[in-house]
Amino acid sequence: MADTSTPATRTAAIVGGNRIPFARSNTAYAQASNQDMLTATLDGLVARFGLQGEQVGEVVAGAVLKHARDFNLTRESVLGSTLAASTPAYDIQQACGTGLEAAILVANKIALGQIESGIAGGVDTTSDAPLAVGDDLRRVLISLNSAKTLGDRLKALSRIRPGQLVPDMPRNAEPRTGLAMGDHAAITAKEWEIGREEQDELAVRSHQNMAAAYDRGFFDDLVTPYLGLTRDNNLRPDSSVEKLAKLKPVFGKGEGATMTAANSTPLTDGASAVLLASDEWAAAKGLPVLAHLVDAQTAAVDYVHGGEGLLMAPAYAVPVMLARNGLTLQDFDFYEIHEAFASTVLSTMKAWEDPAFCKEKLGLDAPLGSIDRSKLNVNGSSLAAGHPFAATGGRIVASLAKMLHEAGPGKRGLISVCAAGGQGVVAILES
């Protein structure tokens, strides 16, 4: 059911990507800032595609955890890179959807002919996290700053209390519920009756798939080492269901708790970038076209009052996008469903198979059905690589584009990324 009223536009080509290996929080990149990592990632991309001194149309990237000084993070990273200083850039932020959303924004400008090339990226560090002073202290400091006389200043200073000196730590929790994302996911897992074993199996497969992909050189032109790290240091090639079964649950409560440190993604540092362009720009530069970004969709759910799971928005976004493109859920050669938690992937797939959910929540006559698990996250995903929030989208887009290119022309891939705030970002790539 393709919408024939859509004006004929070109679709943006994905030329390639680059990322630094992802590092568990407070390990290899403990001393690296978001700007350091994003700059290194851009430079690796420049080296791969010979873009030194080149002005690309736009660089769009973002970080979820950001220092106040990083208000112009992407532009500052561009200025520190070997790209032309005349390359414009802007920051975006859509939680874990940031990286994919950046690619969509760049692709749309290319499709509209506003730019011929662009770089989409994302970076996050939970090691070099921004600490803020508490609101009480912040107000004191602001009035101190605006005080005009010595007396006013002393008065302002006298309001400082020891308790105010404890900084505000950024937390991986939803502001409106106070629950950690994992606790939200645990509620959803329970609702959908996702078992411990199937989560562990998904996690193990992610590690094994990614280790095998590294071994056969799949990441040779997708990853550039950084600060002594040559592979993601969360990757456990020897992971097994037996080993994972020994871990105690960390999210959810009581008997039925199933979510462990192994079937949930750890806090991670890293950055990624994807080079997009018009076919003409790529051809003129002698650069490959791995795939095209065909369409994209976002959705959001009311997880606060609406009774929907925090990370279930992609389940809503995908059918909208499928309908617009006249496709079924089975019309794909690869599925990249971001493994925020193993249970999120399983809940999403179970929802698509469930007639009641598809009818009542999605308004569909029939369920979307199941997907061929052998086509799911075939080179591993976030459970293996780790998940530096804004960098995950770029990792997935570049990897999927390469997979589609290797599989030959006319292949199709689906990307699904859940995000904090009850949001989801999904996209279709085609070779």
Partner 1 sequence: MADWYTNFANSGVGTTLTKQLGLPRPGVLRRYEPGDPLLEGPAVVGSAGQGRLRDTVTAVLKDAGVTVLSPVVADGDATGEKLGAVILDATGVAGPADLAAAHDFLAPAIKRLRANGRVVILTDPPAGADSPAQAAARQAVDGLTRSIGKELRDGSTANALYVPEGAESGVAGPLAFFLSGRSAYVDGQGVTLAAADVPATQDAEKPLAGKVAVVTGAARGIGASIADVMARDGAHVVAVDIPAAGDSLAAVANRIGGTALQLDITAPDAAQRLVEHLRERHGGVDVVVHNAGITRDKLLVNMDAARWNSVMAVNLQAQLDITQALLDSDVLNPGARVVCVSSQSGIAGNRGQTNYAASKAGVIGMVRAWAPAFAERGATINAVAPGFIVTEMTAKMPFGTREVGARLNSLQQGGLPVDVAETIAWLSQPTSAGVNGQTVRVCGQSLLGA
Active site residue 358: no
Exposure string of 362-376, with b = 16+ CB inside 10 Å and e = fewer, is bebeebbeebeeebb
The residue assigned the tokens 């992971």 is: 239
Question: What's the closest the beta carbon of residue 43 comes to partner 1, in angstroms?
Answer: 6
CA separation for the pair 266, 388 (Å, rounded) = 9
Stretch that binds partner 1, among 140-148, 193-201, 272-280, 285-293 (CB under 8 A): 285-293
Q: What is the rounded distance in angstroms from the CA atom of residue 197 to the CA atom of residue 202?
A: 9
Using CB under 8 A as the binding rule, whether residue 82 contacts partner 1 is answered as yes
Q: According to the binding rule CB under 8 A, does residue 237 interact with partner 1?
A: no
Strands 89-91 and 423-430: unpaired
Q: Of 24, 48, 205, 350, which one interacts with partner 1 (CB under 8 A)? A: 48
**Residue 219 touching partner 1 (CB under 8 A):** yes
220 binds partner 1 (CB under 8 A): yes
Q: Which is nearer to partner 1, 344 or 379 (CB)?
A: 379
Q: Closer to partner 1 by CB, 17 or 97: give it.
A: 17
Comparing CA positions, the residue from 339, 96, 312 lying closest to residue 204 is 339
**Contact residues for 220 (Cβ-Cβ < 8 A; gap 6+):** none
**Residue 281 is a binding residue for partner 1 (CB under 8 A):** no
Tokens of 321: 């996008």
52 binds partner 1 (CB under 8 A): yes
Q: How far is the CB of 283 from partner 1 (least distance, A)?
A: 11
**Closest CB to partner 1 among residues 40, 415:** 40
User: Least distance to partner 1 from the beta carbon of 221, Å?
Assistant: 6
Q: Can residue 401 be called a binding residue for partner 1 (CB under 8 A)? A: no
Burial of 353 (0-12, 13-18, 19+ CB in 10 A): middle
Q: Are 312 and 352 in contact (CB under 8 A)?
A: no
Quote the strand ranges of 104-179, DSSP E: 117-124
Query: Which residue among 184, 338, 387, 405 is the active-site one?
Result: 387
Output 50 or 369, the one with its CB closest to partner 1: 50
Q: Residue count at the site for partner 1 (CB under 8 A)?
A: 23
Q: Judging by beta carbons within 10 Å of its beta carbon (0-12, 13-18, 19+), is residue 175 exposed, middle or buried?
A: exposed
Q: Can residue 43 be called a binding residue for partner 1 (CB under 8 A)?
A: yes
CB-count exposure of residue 75 (10 Å: 0-12, 13-18, 19+)? middle
418 given a catalytic annotation:
yes
Residue 288 interacts with partner 1 (CB under 8 A): yes or no:
yes
Exactly one of 106, 287, 318, 401 binds partner 1 (CB under 8 A); that residue is 287
Site residues (vs partner 1, CB under 8 A): 40, 43-44, 46-50, 52-53, 82, 217, 219-221, 223-226, 230, 286-288
Task: List, by residue number, the catalytic residues.
Answer: 96, 387, 418
